[in-house]
Each structure stands twice: as structure tokens, then as C-alpha cells.
Structure 1
Amino acid sequence: MTSSFLQYLQGSKNSPGERKLVQKLDFFILTFCCLMYFLNYLDRSNLTNAYVTGMQQDLDFKGNQFNQINTVFTVGYTIGQVPCNIALYYIKPRIFFPSCMVVWAALTMATAAAQHPRDIMAIRFFQAIFESSTFAGTHYILGSWYTSSELGKRSGIFTASGLAGTMIGGFIQTGINSSMDGLGGLNGWRWLFIIDGIITLPVALYGFLLFPDTPQNTNAPYLTAEEKALAISRVPEVSEKTPISLSFLKHCFSTWYWYFFTILWIIAGETESFSSNSLLALYMNAHPTKKYTKAQKNNYPTGVPAVGIVATLFWATLTDFMGGKRYLVGYWIAITGVITSALILAYPDRTSIHFGMYYWAGSVYACQATFFAWANDVLRYEEDSLRAVVIASMNMGSNAINAWWSIVFYGANFAPYFVRGMWAMIAVSIAMAIWTALLVWMQVRTERRREEGGVYVSHGAVVNKQSDEVDEGQRVGAV
């Protein structure tokens, strides 16, 4: 057991040159995508950091305006999901990703000039559209290059980079407040957005120059002709592109993949609500008896993404090693959501319980890497376009629900106890356990149909092994 696990971690390869190829992919794909996602999440988390360290007072926020800004961002983020993933068919990722980064960097710096909450609402809406390219788009790219035994670990590293952005953002804001507050007549929170935008630009330039696109169209100078051919051979042969048309949409909605994975991520997205809505920071900011310093408000919540990073890497690596049993994370999330919410409800006056449960809830972030790797695994034998749309739809569906969910259940006016949100968390956690079991059943049924009767999948169509006859109307993924 130990030796096989060590061999897995080393990533031993059978094909000549495959280890060297994967090392190159890890360096050039993961470094860019992780830096991109790190900066993406740094920007998102720093809105909360700015809010609790002066922006609320400087811009005279009222009521739920902070949550409304997050909702506006979510709406823009939702709108951008599917169009951004489809754009990857027509614009090379090497051009598309960095271009989006340049635009959102400019908008981030523009936030420093905001004079009213409505200014930030307008900026964040357009910023969200361009930032929406990162998460789903990267998972599509990872699924295009890596095998199923490699995917979970890489997805975990990518997701952890975003959580690192959330965690480090608090420390950055603390440092800026202590050293730059008032510099040039600007408050510390304004400098935060200026610095965020500036450090994004070199990463965008790196992507322009060295990102390898996809195996079928890469012109990366560091890949030899043999390595490009090997990269194509490592993943199943599927149709390179399906035109976005009415027939394609009918095909999407005739498979179980779209429905089941979209609903899975809708539920999973709401099980992340404690962390994604920064409840610990809001709890500290609104505590009725304890008053926390600016440094404490920025630094203490960083424990939440720290737990998320550890959980993400642990579960992503474990499920890879266990042959892709990504569904185990669904059951972990269900247990975590029920217990943490119940204890917060049971002990409203125990600060230590609240801190402990919010930190534990950070482990739910593990579902980001594992569930998107799960979708990539299951859709590996389908058209690339279907995989791209399903992955984008997962994130789109989750954000569409979260646009109003956070206000209804986790509005800042519900701080510090969020009683309504605790009951909502218990409900979605139970739903997660049920839906995970249903999705596993559908996956097993599909794989059995693929194996029984001597069929395999070619370009999304069922092909009989004995006759090699193709039935374009019958697809393994059909409900």
C-alpha cells in the first residue's frame, strides 16, 4: 500500500518521454493557472478585507449594500461562464486568459477611486464577467491535457492556489494598513486595490508568451513534435469541436451529465456558504461584546482558507490514488455541514465553538477540485464542447443560485449568528449526501452500459465492437 502510494505521488509513466512531458505541462500550465487563480481570489477576498478595515465607513455603506455588491458580482460571474468557455474554441487560451486578466486588473485598480457603494457595484459587475473565465476555463484546460489518474492532484493544486489568495489577502491588507495608510492621501484599503491590479499584469504577460493552449492546437516552443503527438494520444479521441447550434443544445439537454453535474455543483456551492460569504469576518465585525482590532479581523479568518488548502490537497490526492472515487468528498461535506451548523446553533454564546466550526467548515472547499475532476473524468469520452459546456454550466448554476442565496440566508444584517443560514446549511448538506448517491448510481449505470454489449464511445456516438457500426442517434450519456 505504502509503496504504491509513493509510486502514485511520483507519477511514474509507461510511455517513453511521458514523465518529461508531464513535468513540462505541470510547470507551464499549473504555474500560470495557479497564479491567475491566486490573483483572482485575492481580489475577491480583498473586498471583504477592505470592507472591515475602513471602506464601510469611508463610503458610508448602509444595510445590505455589501451583500448587494457581492450579488452584482455573482450575476456578472454567472453571465460570463458559458460564453467564456465557448470562447476558448474560437480564441486561443494563450490570448484569451491573459486578455481577461488585463481587463480585470484595470477594473481592480479603478475600485480605488470609488466614492460610493454604487461605484463598486458597477465595477464589480464587469470585473466578474472577465474573472469568470478563470475557474471553469482552467478545469476545461486541465481535462484536455491530463489523464484521469493525474487530474485530481492537479485540480487540487489549482484550487488551493485560489484559497491561498484568500488567505494571503488578509495579511496583505494588514501590512498595507500599517505601512501605506494615508500615503499620497489614500486610505489603506484603496492602496490594496491598486497593488492587486499592478501585480496581475506580469502574470498576464507570462501567459501571453508561454501558455500552451490545448494539445490539438499548441505551438508551445518548449514542446517537441514527439511530445505534442504524445499529448494528443494520452487522452481519448473525441471530436475536437461541435458547432454551437440548436442540435448541439438538444444533445446537451438529452444527456444526464448536464442535469446531474449542474445540480451537484449548485448544492455544493451553497455548502461553501460559511467560507464564501466570509461569515467568520462578519461574525467578528458584528460581535456584540468583543471588539477585534483591524489586524485581528484580517488575520484570524485566514485560518479558514488554510484549512481549505489542506483539505483540498488531501482529498484530491486521495481520490486520485483510490481510482477516482470523487464521491467520497460529497459525504464528507454532508457530515461537516450538519455538525458545524448544529453546534453553532446549540452554542450561540461560545466564541470558541464558532471559531472552531468556521475553521472546520473551510474543509468543504475540497469539493471544488474533486467535483470538477469528477465531471472531467465522467465526460472524458464525450465531445470536448459538451464537457466545456457542462463544466461552465456547473459554475453558472451555482452562482445563479448564490446571487440571491447569500442575501436571503447570510446577509450582513444577520450577523453575528446567522441562524437562518445555519438551518439552510443543514438542509443543503443532507441534499448533498442524497444527490451524491444518485450521481454515483448514474455513473455506474453509464459505465456498465459502455462495457456491456461490446460498445465503446467514439465522438460521442455508440459504436458496436463487432460490426463497427455507428449509431449517431444513440449515445451512452442519454437519459
Structure 2
Amino acid sequence: MTVRNFLWGEAPSTKQERNLLFKLDFFILSYTCLVYFTNYLDRSNINNAYISGMKEDLSMEGTDFNKVLTIFTCGYIVDNLMLQILPPRIWLPLCQIVWGVLTFCTSAVTNVQQVYAIRFFQGIAESSTFVGTHYILGSWYKPGELGKRSGIFTSSGLTGTLFSGVLQGAVYSNLNGVTGRSGWRWLFVIDGVITLPIALYGFWLFPDVPATTQVFYLSNEDRQLAATRLQGYVDVTHSPLSWKLGKRVLTRWRWYACSLLFAISGESESFGSNNLMGQWLKAIGGYSVEQTDYYPAGVTAFGIFSTLLCAIWTDYTQVRWPILVYMSVSCIVASICILVWSSPTGLKFFAYYLAGASYSGQATTFAWANQICADNDQERAIVLVCLRPMWNNVVNAWWSIIFYPATDAPRFKKGMIAMIVICVATLAVTGLVWYLERREHRLGHKSEDSPTTDNEQPEKQMTGESQK
């Protein structure tokens, strides 16, 4: 085994396939990573803006901050299957333009109610981007190539979070008060300027699925190879929606189990999504505005490291479940360290940074769902739509208000107890999904719409778990 194979997977056997993968990696990942970077940059800037003057400027009180997060989540739930109707190269950049315009609008708000409205529609826009990217990745890559690409995509969003604190600190120091604008308002102006050119790039270069792509950089031979190389791994047909699809999805375990897994495990990200460390630093005092912006970046930095390392490992081993165990155990340890309030400040810093491991589960869960549903394109699309946009955010809509209200800073006692419970539940559901997937392969279950016949490809090729 070479270092190259471990980090990036086994090299394709032909020059044409190597060239195809290079094109896919460059054009798909460059666009999706830039989009997710800007989404998370703006998304995280709400957290940083809150502790950098927005709270006072908009007279935010009590749980107003939590309501901002909740309303964004509600927008996330209002998702649909537009990618089955409009080409991804049209729909995803269009969502990004909407996001950019709304970001500019955030810089001019005069009350918290306006923030509520803007965040709701931004939630709708980001939902399609997030699910659409995982759907596209699962349409072009084999199971052994998928985890690290999902990890890179997820890490690009975390990089936006990481950069957000640094950017807010720099903007507050250099632009606060310029032309009468607060530093946090300038932050959203800069976000909007970064966002819109990326959408235009997507209109030009982002592909659809292999069956419908017409981008200029893929030749007819490339398009044919893109479909044939996935045979036995992924269903590449693109059929219209039908009632038969609903019956197929609702009578299988996949939709229920995968949705339950992400609905529960996604709450482990509450450390970062609610900026608990930033709120803790602001509440205990003794730290400057710049420090409360900069120090939480360590949570995200460890999240990026964990996500990339875990993604590489899962593609190499073709086993996904251990990452969810690692994530859950890390968050349990972090929660216990914070619950023991008499623990030293240094240990609390360590605990918050360790909690960054929670981000590694996101890429793994979506790669696992892509892998489980690889034998049917439409079922895969529906399951992915329901993971984060639907069930996880149905929980998110009320979770932070109950367990992480801003008024609980700095201790967040209820939240730490809830984190321990949710991580134990994640371990249980992870075991359930692993068992159901193994049982399906033992029974030789095969979708009636599978792209191959029993004689053409063994079912075990459909997932990496069975390749072990």
C-alpha cells in the first residue's frame, strides 16, 4: 500500500479514468467547497456577530439568539426534491444567489424580527445546497472514493466557521464604525461580496448527474465512462418521480434507520452550532471581543482534522460505523469535563476543543447513506433529503431553545446532560443501522430496480461494508 492509495484511494487502472477523476474532483469539489465555505462563513458569523455587538445594537434579550438559530433550522426543513426536477447546475447556483442577496440584507437589519425572516429563507437555500452536493457526490463516485470527498466538502464548511472568527476579529478591529457601520454589519457585507461570484462560477461549470450532464469539459467518452465505472456500485439511471417510489421507500428499513441516525447524531454538533465556547468566554468575562472570536476557532480546527482523517480511514477500510463511536465517546468525555464546574479552565478549553470531533460524523453518515442506497437513484435522493433537512432539523428546531438557551451561559448544565444522553443514543442507533445493513446482505436482498441482475454483479459490491 502506498501513501497515495491510503490518502486518495486506489489509482484508476486506465489513463482515461484517471483524467475523468481529476476533472470531477477539480470542478465538483472546487464549486461545492466554495459554496459550503461561504454558507458556513455567514452562518457562523451570526454567532460571532452576536458576541461582537449585534446583541446590543438590536436589543436582543433572553432566548432571541436561540430563536435566530431555530428559525434558520425551520427553513432547512422546508426542503423538496427540486434536484429531481431542475438540473443541479441551475438549481444549486440559484440557491447560492439567493443566499448572497440575503447576506447583504443582514448587514442592514434594524431589529431582530428582520433577522428571523432572513435566516428562514437562508435555511431553505442552504438545505438544497447541502443535500444536493451529497446527492451529486454519490452520483459520480464509487463507495471507496466517496468518504474522503464527503469529508473534504464537510471540512470546507468548517473552514468557513474557522475563518469566521478570525474575520470577525479583524473586521471589528479595522472596520468597526467606518461610515457609521458596526463591525458586525461590515462582516455580512464582506460575506455577500465573496458569495455571488461563486454562484456565477457554478452556472458555468457545475455538472448534473452522469445521465444528463452536458458540461464542455467532459467528452462523450468521459460521460460513458462515468456511467459504466459505477455499474455494480451505484444506480446511474435518472427516472421521473412516481408513486411507486413512495411505496418502495416506506416499506424498507433504509429511510427509517438512516433518518433516525442523523436526527440523533446530528445533535452532537450543538457545541459548535450554538457557539457554546464563545458564549462561555463572554459570560465568565476577562476576555476581549477579539479573544471571544478567536479562541473558539480551536473547536473547528479539531473538527476539520477529525473529519479529514476519519474520511480517509473509512474509505480505506470501507467501514463507517467506528467514526460514530469515536465522535460519541469524544463528546461524552467533553460533556463530563464541562459538567464538573470546579475543573480548571484549561480542562474546559480541552473539552470544548475535543468536542470538535462531533463534526466528523456528518460526512461519514452521508457517505454511509449514499452507500446503503446506492442501488436506487431516487431512493438515495429521498433518504439524503430526509437526513439533515428534515428529521435532524425537526429536532434542531426546539433542541437549542430547551437545552442550550443563551441564558444558561456559561455552564449549560442541561445541555451537557442532554449531550451525554444523545451520544449514548447515537451508539445504540449506529449498532442498529450496522445490524440492518449486514442482515440485508446476508439475505441477499436486492432492489427490484437494481441496475444489474443477480448474474451480472454480486450484491456485495453495492456497499463497502460487505467488501471487508
**TM-score, normalised with respect to structure 2:** 0.93
Could you tell me how far 1:350 is from its partner in structure 2? 2.5
Instruction: Indicate the percent of aligned positions where both proteins have the same amino acid.
Output: 44
Mapped contact 1:340–1:360 kept (Cα < 8 A): yes
Could you tell me how far 1:250 is from its partner in structure 2? 2.1
CA distance in 2, matches of 1:261, 1:103: 30
Mapped contact 1:29–1:212 kept (Cα < 8 A): yes
Is 1:63 the counterpart of 2:62 in the alignment? yes
Could you tell me how far 1:6 is from its partner in structure 2? 3.5
Q: Give the match for residue 254 of structure 2.
A: 257
How many correspondences in the alignment? 452
Instruction: Encode CA deviations 1:34-64: one digit per residue, 9 max, x unaligned.
Output: 0000001001100011110111111111100
CA distance in 2, matches of 1:92, 1:464: 32
CA distance in 2, matches of 1:149, 1:461: 19
Instruction: Encode CA deviations 1:1-48: one digit per residue, 9 max, x unaligned.
Output: xx3453343541124411111011000000000000000100110001
Q: Structure 1 residue aligned with 2:382, among 386, 389, 393?
A: 389
CA distance in 2, matches of 1:241, 1:212: 14
Q: Give the match for residue 469 of structure 1.
A: none
Q: Displaced runs of 4+ in structure 1, greater than 6 A?
A: none
Q: Give the match for residue 473 of structure 1.
A: none
* Aligned pairs (5 A) from 1:361-400: 361-381=355-375, 383-395=376-388, 396-400=390-394
Could you tell me how far 1:460 is from its partner in structure 2? 4.0
Could you tell me how far 1:107 is from its partner in structure 2? 0.6
Any stretches of 5+ residues in structure 2 without a counterpart?
Answer: 457-468
Is 1:93 the counterpart of 2:88 in the alignment? yes
Which shifted more, 31-40 or 5-14? 5-14
Q: Give the match for residue 271 of structure 2.
A: 274
Q: 1:458 to 1:222 in 2, by over 3 A?
A: farther
CA distance in 1, matches of 2:207, 2:298: 35
CA distance in 1, matches of 2:109, 2:8: 49
Q: Structure 2 residue aligned with 1:408, among 393, 399, 402?
A: 402
* Aligned pairs (5 A) from 1:24-173: 24-80=23-79, 83=80, 86-173=81-168
Mapped contact 2:6–2:312 kept (Cα < 8 A): no
The residue identity in structure 1 corresponding to 2:235 is V
Q: 1:38 to 1:67 in 2, by over 3 A?
A: same
Q: Secondary structure at the match of 1:91?
A: coil
CA distance in 1, matches of 2:446, 2:412: 50
CA distance in 2, matches of 1:423, 1:45: 24
Mapped contact 1:76–1:128 kept (Cα < 8 A): yes
Mapped contact 2:139–2:236 kept (Cα < 8 A): no
Mapped contact 2:303–2:358 kept (Cα < 8 A): yes
Mapped contact 2:42–2:188 kept (Cα < 8 A): yes
Q: Give the match for residue 331 of structure 1.
A: 325
Q: Structure 2 residue aligned with 1:180, among 175, 196, 215?
A: 175
The residue identity in structure 2 corresponding to 1:20 is N
Q: 1:282 to 1:28 in 2, by over 3 A?
A: same
Q: Give the match for residue 471 of structure 1.
A: none
RMSD, aligned CA? 1.7
CA distance in 2, matches of 1:350, 1:403: 33
Q: Secondary structure at the match of 2:78?
A: helix
Q: Give the match for residue 5 of structure 2.
A: 7
Q: Give the match for residue 441 of structure 2.
A: 447
The residue identity in structure 2 corresponding to 1:73 is F
Could you tell me how far 1:337 is from its partner in structure 2? 2.1
Mapped contact 1:456–1:465 kept (Cα < 8 A): no
Q: Give the match for residue 430 of structure 2.
A: 436
Q: 1:200 to 1:461 in 2, by over 3 A?
A: closer
CA distance in 1, matches of 2:320, 2:87: 30
Mapped contact 2:31–2:201 kept (Cα < 8 A): yes
CA distance in 2, matches of 1:351, 1:394: 36
Q: 1:10 to 1:59 in 2, by over 3 A?
A: closer
Q: Give the match for residue 414 of structure 2.
A: 420
Mapped contact 1:170–1:298 kept (Cα < 8 A): yes
The residue identity in structure 1 corresponding to 2:353 is Y
Mapped contact 2:33–2:153 kept (Cα < 8 A): yes
Q: Structure 2 residue aligned with 1:204, among 184, 199, 204?
A: 199
Q: Secondary structure at the match of 1:228?
A: helix
CA distance in 2, matches of 1:263, 1:27: 33
CA distance in 2, matches of 1:175, 1:148: 41
The residue identity in structure 2 corresponding to 1:198 is V
Instruction: Encode CA deviations 1:337-359: one digit per residue, 9 max, x unaligned.
Output: 22111121123452222211010
Q: Secondary structure at the match of 2:296?
A: helix
Q: Give the match for residue 449 of structure 2.
A: 459
Mapped contact 2:227–2:236 kept (Cα < 8 A): no
The residue identity in structure 1 corresponding to 2:420 is I
CA distance in 2, matches of 1:10, 1:115: 48
Q: 1:239 to 1:440 in 2, by over 3 A?
A: same
Q: 1:461 to 1:153 in 2, by over 3 A?
A: closer
CA distance in 1, matches of 2:141, 2:83: 18
CA distance in 2, matches of 1:15, 1:224: 16
Q: Give the match for residue 305 of structure 1.
A: 300
Mapped contact 2:331–2:357 kept (Cα < 8 A): no
CA distance in 1, matches of 2:129, 2:241: 21
Could you tell me how far 1:246 is from its partner in structure 2? 3.5
CA distance in 1, matches of 2:313, 2:401: 35
CA distance in 2, matches of 1:441, 1:275: 30
Instruction: Encode CA deviations 1:133-160: one digit per residue, 9 max, x unaligned.
Output: 1111100000000111110111110000
Could you tell me how far 1:464 is from its partner in structure 2? 5.3
Is 1:213 the counterpart of 2:208 in the alignment? yes
Q: 1:113 to 1:426 in 2, by over 3 A?
A: same
Mapped contact 2:8–2:312 kept (Cα < 8 A): no
Mapped contact 2:337–2:343 kept (Cα < 8 A): no
Q: Secondary structure at the match of 1:134?
A: helix
